[in-house]
A and B are shown apart, each in its own frame.
Chain A
Amino acid sequence: MNPKWRSWLPKLAVIVIFLLPILLISPKTYITLTISGLAMGMLLFLVSSGFSLIFGFLSVLNLAHGALFAWGAYIGFSAFSFINKWTGWGGSNSIFSNILIFLLALAAAGIGVAIIGVVTERLVIRPVYGSHLFQIFITVGAMTVMEELIRIIWGPNDEPMPVPLSFIGSWDIFDVVVSKYPLIVIVIGLILYLIVFTILRRTRLGMIVRAGVENPEMVQVMGHNIYRYFTGVFAAGSALAAIGGGMWATFVKSIHPAMGGEVIVFALVVAIIGGLGSMTGSMVGALMVGLSYNYVAYLVPKGALGITMLLLVIILSIRPTGLFPEGT
């Protein structure tokens, strides 16, 4: 394929997915679906970006990533319930209190799972660096253990996820019904993307991580303790998955121990479509999957999961390494 067309492919793909459904769906429904699709995309970005970064930088296939997502949801659930019990902020009419308890719960999820990520990297992942086969075996094992621990600590049943009062409901904007929480998800997702993007692009730490995605051996030879960066990136990737888990649970209003397994397939697809090791790729891939899933779910409900796989096949047949190169 002509290199000029290759560089336009990601933009073209997003434009087609974004604009084509306008021909088939009424404008008001299109806006509602688009907001849902963007929100789903942001959630998928949070989960897949961590997976993509871990694979790109550490060259580690972490199939326990879904379990980290689930742990994030459960820690967020517990933190929210605990803070709400003592402050009542979750059920308060104050938007500020609602936002504060929500952010604190997400922060607890992120920090808690980052610590779990550090332990996982040191004990489980480090011994199998360099062997993708053993990484698959050991991370599947870790995923099983983590899921069982959730059952032991929180119980095996589904739990309703509390939602801050002001996040419930919708706005009527020019006769278009817009749910509140998806908009909040889009805003938080964008902010997190900008934070991660800024760290990667504008800081020395980010520069070393981007260099390590391309050539970790060379970064080591330049005097940087690459193992510390491995641990840090694994923790950061885990934290992103955890925040995604907390936000996803609030979106679907429930948590259950196997929820990670449901989302990891999407996260893998997004990471592959976007290009493993690329933050921008994860964002673009996630938005493509989120939007296409929602449009097709409305038009052809049974085809919703199939469209994700079809996207994967089309992108990989044109661009086998994904839409964006690693490190971008």
Chain B
Amino acid sequence: MEAHLVAEPILKVEGIHTFIGKHHILQGVSFDVYPGKVTVLLGRNGAGKTTTLRSIMGLLSPSQGTILFQNQAIHHMKSFEIARLGIGFVPEDRGLFNLLTVEENFRVAMLQEDEGSQQRLEFILDIFPDLKRFWKAKAGVLSGGQKQMLAIARPLVNRNELLLIDEPSKGLAPIAIEHLIEAIIKLKEHTMIILVEQNFYMASRLGNDFHLFDDGRTVHKGQMEELVANEELKKKYLGISG
């Protein structure tokens, strides 16, 4: 809490309403993301977590409310403009280009093919050595865990200050989830992360702050340790008991 009083939020989402067709999905979502933190968005299926990430990324346009990134309004920007400001996105379906090689996936992600990008790439490949091994292989032949590594690693070739990750553990075996957690722990020292995650174990290992979603609204927030200890909240909004 003391850190929040000192630091300005890097991302401020205030009262956003988003429609998908005629469906009013987000009905007043508000939360802040602070530097040096992993912020976890939690809630049942259909609560609006993915829609929130897509609204931040400009893939959906909020009809009301504001989204400020480093004090700049981004809620009416196009997604390629938002990406250029330093926000990376890892969608739920990973968004890999399966017919392109691992190398080509990274090269498409690079906004500029310069020395800085090369240095960041070397750093990334140290964290994800499997990607170096499969460098010339098509992304489609990778295992589920490797695909998820590639999906998360790819946006990091640019100087992204914020990374939005949507359900990275989906469809992964427990051992792959452990590897992923270790990788993200190393990454969080270098970039801020908003994580949407159904797997509470992963969320609790990685998250610093949490925001609970229910029916398109943010209903509770706090520090992750509080949520871990609060059985009532977990049962009510996540369906987790014990």
Chain A residues packing against B (C-beta within 8 Å) = 204, 207-208, 210-211, 214-215, 217-226, 325-328
Identify which of B57, B80, B100, B155 contacts A211 (C-beta below 8 A): B100
Q: Are B107 and A223 in contact (CB under 8 A)?
A: no
Name the residue on A nearest B99 (C-beta): A327
Q: In the complex where A211-B97, A225-B80 touch, is A217 in contact with B59 (Cβ < 8 A)?
A: yes
Given contacts A223-B80, A224-B108, 7 further A-B contacts (CB under 8 A): A210-B97, A215-B95, A221-B89, A221-B95, A222-B111, A326-B99, A328-B99
Question: Closest approach, in angstroms, between the C-beta of B88 and any C-beta of chain A?
Answer: 8
B113 at the interface (CB under 8 A from A): yes
Name the residue on A nearest B85 (C-beta): A223
Cross-chain pair count, CB within 8 angstroms: 64
Q: Are A221 and B57 in contact (CB under 8 A)?
A: yes
Measured in the bound complex, the distance between the Cα atoms of B100 and A127 in whole Å is 30
Q: Which residues of B contact A222 (CB under 8 A)?
A: 80, 83, 108-109, 111, 154-155
Q: Are A220 and B99 in contact (CB under 8 A)?
A: no
Measured in the bound complex, the distance between the Cα atoms of B107 and A219 in whole Å is 11
Jot down 18 A-B pairs with beta carbons below 8 A, ordered by A. A208-B108, A210-B104, A211-B97, A211-B104, A214-B98, A215-B95, A218-B97, A221-B59, A221-B79, A221-B91, A221-B95, A222-B80, A223-B80, A223-B83, A223-B84, A223-B111, A226-B80, A327-B100
B158 at the interface (CB under 8 A from A): yes
Count of B interface residues, CB-CB < 8 Å: 24
Q: Can you list, as one digit per residue, whether each of B211-231 has a CB less than 8 Å from chain A (1) or not (0)?
A: 000000000000000000000
Q: Are A219 and B79 in contact (CB under 8 A)?
A: no
Measured in the bound complex, the distance between the Cα atoms of B31 and A235 in whole Å is 44
Among A210, A326, A328, max chain B CB count under 10 A is at: A210
Q: Are B97 and A215 in contact (CB under 8 A)?
A: yes
Measured in the bound complex, the distance between the Cα atoms of B98 and A214 in whole Å is 8
The 3 closest A-B pairs by CB, nearest first: A223-B83, A218-B95, A211-B97
Question: Closest approach, in angstroms, between the C-beta of B56 and any C-beta of chain A?
Answer: 11
Q: Are B83 and A221 in contact (CB under 8 A)?
A: yes
Q: Which residues of B contact A225 (CB under 8 A)?
A: 78, 80
Q: In the complex where A204-B107, A211-B100 touch, is A223 in contact with B158 (Cβ < 8 A)?
A: yes
Measured in the bound complex, the distance between the Cα atoms of B105 and A211 in whole Å is 8
Q: Are B99 and A224 in contact (CB under 8 A)?
A: no
Q: Are A211 and B108 in contact (CB under 8 A)?
A: yes
Name the interface residues of B111-163: CB closer than 8 Å to any CB of A: 111, 113, 154-155, 158
Measured in the bound complex, the distance between the Cα atoms of B109 and A28 in whole Å is 54
Question: Closest approach, in angstroms, between the C-beta of A75 and any C-beta of chain B?
Answer: 34
Measured in the bound complex, the distance between the Cα atoms of B100 and A326 in whole Å is 11
Q: Are B104 and A207 in contact (CB under 8 A)?
A: yes
Q: Which residues of B contact A220 (CB under 8 A)?
A: 78-80, 83
Name the residue on B nearest A223 (C-beta): B83
Q: Which residues of A contact B109 (CB under 8 A)?
A: 222
Identify which of A207, A215, A217, A328 contacts B107 (C-beta below 8 A): A207
Question: Closest approach, in angstroms, between the C-beta of B140 and any C-beta of chain A?
Answer: 10
